Amino acid sequence: MALPLLALLLFGIIQYGFIFGAYITLRNASAVAARHAILQSPTPTQTSIENVARGAIQPMLSPANLASVSITSVDVAGQPATNVTLVYNMPLIVPFVVPGKTAGASLTLTATTIMR
């Protein structure tokens, strides 16, 4: 009788562990890409930043699921800075433990880094 509840709890812990690991990897990749953009300043190319971001998410995440890489220049306290945002579509292994998700669903993760 308690087996279904324990199985649901176990699968939930596993799925949310994968989500947390993917989010940490994506945050690190956005920081690496922003640092690369700053080092290429004043003219970072979109292609080189995307290649760095795709390389930084491997081997934990698939570069094919990286939906977008956006680079913008922002002003932080009067200083120029670079804003790098990564959007990743993470396929769910056990989607029924994530509220609102069904079989074959993916979860959109977003990470932003501002660096000057």
For the chain, what is the mean pLDDT?
Answer: 87
- The answer on pLDDT for 76 being more than 90 is no
Domain around 23? 3-115
Higher pLDDT, 103 or 49: 49
CB distance 92 to 12 below 8 Å: no
So what's the pLDDT on residue 1? 82
So what's the pLDDT on residue 102? 78
How many separate domains does the chain show? Answer: 1
So what's the pLDDT on residue 43? 73
Rounded to an integer, the average pLDDT of 77-93 is 86
